[in-house]
């Protein structure tokens, strides 16, 4: 039985703690939060867990085998590093750290000590994204043309990170999972509508080797919540609407075929394929449960998580490059050069 310590019992921590109680092979050993109110709520729901106002206490608690970090991004590095050094496995909220340099240090520390380091890229563990992954992987989608995602809603404005780090991070994590192609360049533009506040609205384009393109539209200042992703392939196209309770994934047998005969090209250029739409049943198991089960299994079997520290690092590198482009109104950033330089 793996004893879990949850650090941070604000918005996401209670979900982590609840799911730990529903997962075989682990249990809640301790919960830490600076706020006495938060600890009071934690006690009501988890009356047998040790409570702590200081996260250091958890890191040093021998009943804690693994630490889950659900605190603000700016504290991820210090907490995760201390936990690893204390010999604890670590599960960190996305994004894994504030900088790529920090993530690299965590990776090294975990590798050196043989500990599991996992980043909470929750969407990777949904039935919907698993279905998309399998369709790309099996070739059912054909050549991937594009990934186009709208992820907008009202708030929560973050103090320490811009909207890319809060919302686009989800799509970058999904892309890191489903898309084998290498990203070549990124262009981002965005704006902060409030002086002294980070960018609250942004668009981001990633150019991949082979011609695929990803486009992300994120916004903290939208009147409605939208979570819609279109994925275009040469054989099929997908519309993925995460807010639907059923029919989250719709697969369209639609597309175009370039005319091959030059004479025909002159006249029609492309012919259209307008076939049926199918919405497959996808697993409705809670993604966080799948994910924490995976964390437990990786610890026990000493295997590498799907969303390991390295995937966390790749996502942070993309966020850094996109933020750089955004400060220059879309100036493209050459990721190949960056990779060579590092």
Min dist. Cβ of residue 162 to a copy of itself (A):
13
Per CB under 8 A, which region of 29-37, 73-81, 143-151, 287-295 contacts a copy of itself? 143-151
d(CA 18, CA 207): 39
Q: What angle do CA 105, 111, 112 make, to 5 degrees?
A: 85
Q: What is the DSSP letter of 124?
A: G
Is residue 223 near a copy of itself by the rule CB under 8 A? yes
Q: What is the DSSP letter of 122?
A: G
Q: Which is nearer to a copy of itself, 101 or 270 (CB)?
A: 270
- Among the listed residues 275, 285, 327, 337, the single contact to a copy of itself using CB under 8 A: 275
Residues 197-216 that bind a copy of itself (CB under 8 A): 197, 201, 203, 205, 207, 211, 213, 215
- Among the listed residues 36, 224, 301, 341, the single contact to a copy of itself using CB under 8 A: 224
Q: How far apart are the first and last CA of the chain?
A: 41
Min dist. Cβ of residue 242 to a copy of itself (A):
12
Q: What is the DSSP letter of 97?
A: -
Beta-carbon contacts of residue 21 (< 8 Å; ≥ 6 apart): 27, 28, 46
- Tokens standing for residue 45: 């729901």
Element holding 229 (H helix, E strand): strand 221-233
d(CA 318, CA 77): 18
Is residue 252 near a copy of itself by the rule CB under 8 A? yes
Per CB under 8 A, which region of 60-68, 115-123, 124-132, 141-149 contacts a copy of itself? 141-149
Q: What is the CA radius of gyration of the chain?
A: 22
Min dist. Cβ of residue 171 to a copy of itself (A):
14
Q: Which is nearer to a copy of itself, 58 or 206 (CB)?
A: 206
Q: What x-and-dash track marks residues 92-131 binding a copy of itself by CB under 8 A?
A: ----------------------------------------
Cα dihedral across residues 183, 75, 342, 312: positive or negative? negative
Min dist. Cβ of residue 4 to a copy of itself (A):
14
Is residue 276 near a copy of itself by the rule CB under 8 A? yes
Min dist. Cβ of residue 37 to a copy of itself (A):
14
d(CA 246, CA 70): 29
């049943």: which residue's tokens? 281
Is residue 36 near a copy of itself by the rule CB under 8 A? no
Cis ω on the peptide bond leading into residue 222 (within 30° of 0)? no
Q: What is the DSSP letter of 232?
A: E
d(CA 124, CA 132): 10
Min dist. Cβ of residue 310 to a copy of itself (A):
27
Q: What is the DSSP letter of 83?
A: H
Closest CA to 162 of 116, 221, 228: 221
Is residue 232 near a copy of itself by the rule CB under 8 A? yes
Interface positions with a copy of itself (CB under 8 A): 21-22, 44-45, 47-48, 145-146, 148, 150, 152, 154-155, 157-159, 185, 187, 189-191, 193-194, 197, 201, 203, 205, 207, 211, 213, 215, 217, 219, 221-225, 230, 232, 237-239, 243, 245-247, 250, 252, 254-256, 258, 269-270, 272, 274-281, 325, 328-332
């Amino acid at each position: 039985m793996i004893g879990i310590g949850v650090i941070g019992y604000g918005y996401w921590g209670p979900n982590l703690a609840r799911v730990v109680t529903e997962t075989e092979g682990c249990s809640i050993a301790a919960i830490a939060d600076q706020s006495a109110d938060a600890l009071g709520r934690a006690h009501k729901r988890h009356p047998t867990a040790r409570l702590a106002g200081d996260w250091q206490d958890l890191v040093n608690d021998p009943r804690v085998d693994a630490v889950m970090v659900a605190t603000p991004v700016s504290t991820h590095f210090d907490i995760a590093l201390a936990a690893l050094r204390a010999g604890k496995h670590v599960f960190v909220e996305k994004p894994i750290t504030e900088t790529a340099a920090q993530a690299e240090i965590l990776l090294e520390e975990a590798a050196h000590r043989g500990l599991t380091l996992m980043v909470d890229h929750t969407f990777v563990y949904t039935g919907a994204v698993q279905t998309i992954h399998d369709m790309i992987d099996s070739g059912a989608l054909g050549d991937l043309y594009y990934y186009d995602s709208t992820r907008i809603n009202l708030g929560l404005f973050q103090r320490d990170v811009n909207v890319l780090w809060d919302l686009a991070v989800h799509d970058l994590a999904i892309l890191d999972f489903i898309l084998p192609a290498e990203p070549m360049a990124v262009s981002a533009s965005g704006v902060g509508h409030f002086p002294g506040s980070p960018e609250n609205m942004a668009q981001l384009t990633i150019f991949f080797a082979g011609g695929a393109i990803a486009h992300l539209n994120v916004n903290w200042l939208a009147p409605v919540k939208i979570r819609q992703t279109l994925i275009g392939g040469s054989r099929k196209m997908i519309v993925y609407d995460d807010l639907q309770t059923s029919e989250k994934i719709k697969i369209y047998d639609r597309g175009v075929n370039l005319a091959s005969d030059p004479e025909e090209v002159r006249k029609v250029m492309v012919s259209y394929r307008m076939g049926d739409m199918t919405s497959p049943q996808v697993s409705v198991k809670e993604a966080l449960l799948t994910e924490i089960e995976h964390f437990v299994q990786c610890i026990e079997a000493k295997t590498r998580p799907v969303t390991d520290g390295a995937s966390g690092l790749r996502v942070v590198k993309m966020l850094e490059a996109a933020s750089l482009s955004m400060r220059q109104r879309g100036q493209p950033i050459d990721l190949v050069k960056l990779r060579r330089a590092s």
